[in-house]
Chains A and B, each alone.
Chain A
Amino acid sequence: RKEVEQDPGPFNVPEGATVAFNCTYSNSASQSFFWYRQDCRKEPKLLMSVYSSGNEDGRFTAQLNRASQYISLLIRDSKLSDSATYLCVVPSYSSASKIIFGSGTRLSIRP
């Protein structure tokens, strides 16, 4: 099993819709996770950190399911500006100080 896996998408949803995507990880000892957002031809930027049960910030909710080893990102009332690639980041098996980026999920919001 890969250390981190994401559905590449693209997810194409209308403005105002709710969309969710998952990221599975293989290191069961992982404690902290992150979602980064990357706009086209730009650098990644931290969107949310995910510890213990989850995190919520406005329209964005991140949840952790330890039993099934995945984290999810839910976006409510999606905006055109939410169009981006969302990168899941998880701790690596091999080193406590190393994190692994997923390949990203592309999201496109249409008017």
Chain B
Amino acid sequence: EAGVAQSPRYKIIEKRQSVAFWCNPISGHATLYWYQQILGQGPKLLIQFQNNGVVDDSQLPKDRFSAERLKGVDSTLKIQPAKLEDSAVYLCASSLDPTGSEQFFGPGTRLTVL
């Protein structure tokens, strides 16, 4: 079974630039999550989708971050403009349902903002 795919794996940009990340979840998984993980911390949920609807985006900095999952399958997360403090690993995960079942994570995108 193919896992969660993410691209790119690494990205280096300068502050105030824009960046986009892509995620393709495991086939059949209705729930998709984007997490931000800063070095030394646990993953912090940015946004959770159930199919193509947003379940939770309370911790998404909406002035600069946006995410979509238009067809209920793959998803993109965008940052515009980036700040130094956005340097982190952005993890995408998917699960069969949102009620606490196992989440499967992609390898993440390591973002460095200079």
Q: Tell me the chain B residues, 13-50 only, with Cβ under 8 Å from chain A.
A: 35, 40-45, 48, 50
Interface residues on A, range: 20 to 34
- List the B side residues contacting A94 at CB < 8 Å: 58
Query: Which of A6, A43, A87 has the most chain B CB within a 10 Å cutoff?
Result: A43
Cβ 8 A contact of B41, one of A45, A98, A103: A103
Would you list which residues of chain B between 44 and 94 have a CB under 8 Å from chain A? 44-45, 48, 50, 55-56, 58, 91
Name A79-103 residues within 8 Å CB distance of B: 87, 91, 94-103
CB distance from A83 to the nearest CB of B (A): 16
Shortest C-beta distance, B111 to chain A (Å), equals: 14
Chain B residue nearest in CB terms to A95: B56
What's the nearest-Cβ distance from chain B to residue A29, in Å? 13
- For the complex, give the distance between the alpha carbons of A34 and B99 in Å: 12
**Complex partner residue of A98 from B35, B43, B48, B102, CB under 8 angstroms:** B48
Point out the residue from A8, A45, A98, A102 that lies within 8 Å of B105, measured CB to CB: A45
Contacts of A32 in B (CB 8 A): 100
Assuming the contacts A43-B91, A44-B105, asked whether A99 and B42 have C-beta atoms less than 8 A apart, the reply is: no
Q: B105: nearest residue on chain A (CB-CB)?
A: A43
Q: Mark A20-58, 1 if CB is under 8 A from B, else 0.
A: 000000000000101000000011111001000000000
> Residues of A at under 8 Å CB distance from B?
6, 8, 32, 34, 42-46, 49, 87, 91, 94-104
Known: A6-B42, A49-B102, A97-B56. 16 other contacts (CB 8 A): A8-B40, A43-B105, A45-B105, A46-B102, A87-B43, A91-B100, A97-B48, A97-B55, A97-B100, A98-B56, A100-B45, A101-B42, A101-B43, A101-B44, A103-B40, A104-B42
